[in-house]
Amino acid sequence: MNSEPIFLEPVFKDYIWGGQKLKNIFGKKVQNEECTAESWEVSTNENGETLVKNGEFKGQTLTQVFANQDLRKAIFGTKCVDLAEFPLLIKFIDANKSLSVQVHPDNEYAMKHENSLGKTEMWYILDCEPGAQIICGVKKGVTKEKLKECINSEKIAECLNYVNVEKGDAIYIPSGTIHALLGKTLVAEVQQNSNVTYRVYDWGRVGKDGKPRELHVQKALDVICTDRTPQIRKIENNCSKVNVAKSEFFTTNKLHVQDQFAEEISEESFIALNVIEGKGTLKVANQNYEIKKGDSFLVPANAKKYELLGNMELLQSYV
């Protein structure tokens, strides 16, 4: 096979807390123009599989491409050869309204109870209104017993840690961390390939069927770690490459391209790139590809090198 990049067609989710920013800011061709919550940009998850838009795999799902064992090492890298499934799920999220207060399990608990990977994730704040907040962790000194008491008496707000955020903030959220986006916030999310979420509190809302959305309080209490402290970094914009998050599951960097950026690729992993500002040209194996804000694509591990030309900002993720 050649080493051409794999451009992906996103999958949209119209959850009740979404808005119109994915259409208005990223130019996404959404199905629900009034309320689109998430754009799954890079996904093999059974709840939303992205399609390949170009090249020899055009029309296939990324899941189908990953399933090709003969090509997996060349495209996805040596670290992915023995994996049961593609390791990452990357999204753009329009939290127009508050998400539920929630938590995700680790691999061990998720595999035992959900037959799924766990979920460690990272948020990068693409845009937000002044004074925007998130929930990340619990207040200092809150025990699991106290948290359970507050949940049962619907006084959970007394236990939660509210954090102010701004554009350019990166929040690392290991599994077991209670958290929520609290509205008027546009986010890029890089996470393990999992859709397992345990809702603790949902602000008394009802779903599209008019009924309260399901909560998962006992499972949430099983996995919540009350000693988690927020890991928030302000990402500078004056470096060509700066680390945003690093874990055993993924590494994410921010690229700030002014005219030109070039980098070699390790044979260990593919590179996932999401254009979050600007436009320009991607050059791989002497072929040029025009890219713009909102585009998401993979550069195969066997490409050895890629080049970005123009003025733009991107998130770069790999295993």
DSSP symbol at 110: H
Type of residue found at 284: V
Nearest of 284, 282, 280, 283 to residue 292 by alpha carbon = 280
DSSP symbol at 157: G
Q: Is 199 a catalytic residue?
A: yes
Q: From CA 242, how far away is CA 236, in angstroms rounded? A: 8
What Å distances lie between residue 228 and 134, 141, 296, CA to CA? 15, 11, 31
Catalytic position from the list 199, 213, 228, 233: 199
Token representation of residue 228:
């988690």
* Contact predicate 88/121, CB 8 Å: no
* Contact predicate 207/14, CB 8 Å: no
Q: Where are the beta strands (DSSP E) in 129-270?
A: 133-138, 160-164, 169-173, 179-181, 185-192, 198-201, 231-234, 241-246, 251-264
Type of residue found at 61: T
What Å distances lie between residue 89 and 98, 120, 191, 217, 264, CA to CA? 21, 11, 5, 25, 23
Type of residue found at 89: L
Active site amino acids: 199
